[in-house]
């Protein structure tokens, strides 16, 4: 988060040099870990943009895919430390943690561009382009995880808010990470939740809902839902907890790095365990 939100700052096609700097940083980080980095490049508003991808081949062959993604652009007017520097930090760390892991499923790590407005749910959104191409190619993505706004936690009673009625079923403290799935993805989400809890004692909540509920579909997983892939969002619940969401005040010092690291290690353990199943 320090480099993306601190050194580079706001990064989107309206600040193309910053967006390019973010792209370069992600590419060089993965290359320094020993990974080859692929690009899906296209143009938006006259600016060259790219989804960046690392592929770790599995022993079952390339046709069984687990995909973990995070968008690296920030909304206009915000340096985007939590949204989504935190997700990118976790994605890059997973690249390091999975070096030489020898997974059964092929693991794809993808840094998506252009998730934020005005490109969300348009043909310019990076994950929309990626998911559409994957479906057109017949790629068998067994599960997609969208790492979205993961770095803020609060322990005071009442600091966690929800859509209507959810508060009756979930904690009023924002000390947990959340898995958010649609009905098509609920079974694999529950299995991943069991794997996460086996690997980590970090508090986890999960929910199956519809994208009609505000916030449930508000990240790159929705692009995969539209293409009938199973996908879920990993999140600290964003604006239901974090007052600095989409603001200039979304800066690195507001985040909890120790808990973000614990969540990332939990995801590594969960994916390693999930990999032992026929997902």
Q: Where are the domains of the chain?
A: 2-274
Neighbours of 197 (CB within 10 A): 15
Helix (H, G, I), strand (E, B) or coil at 181: strand
Q: Which of 48, 6, 231 is nearest to 127 (CA)?
A: 231
Angle at alpha carbon of residue 108, lines to 103 and 114, rounded to 5°: 160
Inter-residue contact 67 to 145 (CB < 8 Å):
yes
Burial of 213 (0-12, 13-18, 19+ CB in 10 A): middle
> Which two tokens mark 233?
């969002």
What pLDDT score does 1 carry? 67
> Which two tokens mark 80?
């985007």
pLDDT tens, position by position, 30-39: 999 999 999 9
Mean pLDDT taken over the chain: 97
Inter-residue contact 12 to 73 (CB < 8 Å):
yes
Domain 2-274, what fold?
Aminopeptidase (3.40.630)
Q: What residues contact 149, with CB distance under 8 A and at least 6 apart?
A: 82, 83, 84, 86, 87, 235, 236, 237, 238, 242, 245
Helix (H, G, I), strand (E, B) or coil at 270: helix
3-state DSSP: the chain helix, strand, coil percent, rounded to 5? 35, 20, 45
Chain position carrying tokens 């004692």: 201
**What mean pLDDT is predicted for residues 46-68?**
95
What pLDDT score does 62 carry? 82
Helix (H, G, I), strand (E, B) or coil at 51: strand
CA distance 119 to 161: 27
**What mean pLDDT is predicted for residues 56-68?**
92
pLDDT tens, position by position, 230-269: 999 999 999 999 999 999 999 999 999 999 999 999 999 9
CA distance 224 to 267: 20
**What mean pLDDT is predicted for residues 177-200?**
98
pLDDT tens, position by position, 140-168: 999 999 999 999 999 999 999 999 999 99
The DSSP symbol for 265 reads H
């Amino acid at each position: 988060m320090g480099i993306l939100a601190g050194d580079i700052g706001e990064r989107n096609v309206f600040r193309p040099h910053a967006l390019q700097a973010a792209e370069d940083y992600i590419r060089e980080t993965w290359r320094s870990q020993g990974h080859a980095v692929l690009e899906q490049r296209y143009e938006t508003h006259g600016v060259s943009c790219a989804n960046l991808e690392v592929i770790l081949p599995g022993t079952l062959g390339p046709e069984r895919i687990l995909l973990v993604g995070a968008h690296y652009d920030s909304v206009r007017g915000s340096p985007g430390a939590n949204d989504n520097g935190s997700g990118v930090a976790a994605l890059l760390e997973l690249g390091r943690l999975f070096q030489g892991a020898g997974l059964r499923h092929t693991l794809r790590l993808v840094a998506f561009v252009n998730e934020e407005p005005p490109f969300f749910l348009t043909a310019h959104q990076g994950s929309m382009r990626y998911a559409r191409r994957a479906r057109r190619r017949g790629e068998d993505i067994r599960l997609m995880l969208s790492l979205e706004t993961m770095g803020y936690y609060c322990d005071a009673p009442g600091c966690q808010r929800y859509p209507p009625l959810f508060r009756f079923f979930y904690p009023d403290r924002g000390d947990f990470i959340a898995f958010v799935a649609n009905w098509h993805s609920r079974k694999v989400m529950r299995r991943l939740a069991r794997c996460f809890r086996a690997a980590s004692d970090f508090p986890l909540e999960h929910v199956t809902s519809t994208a009609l509920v505000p916030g449930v579909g508000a990240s790159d997983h929705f692009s995969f839902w539209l293409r009938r892939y199973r996908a879920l969002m990993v999140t600290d619940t964003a604006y239901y907890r974090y007052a600095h969401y989409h603001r200039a005040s979304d800066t690195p010092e507001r985040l909890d790095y120790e808990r973000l690291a614990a969540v990332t290690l939990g995801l590594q353990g969960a994916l390693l365990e999930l990999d032992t199943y026929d997902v």
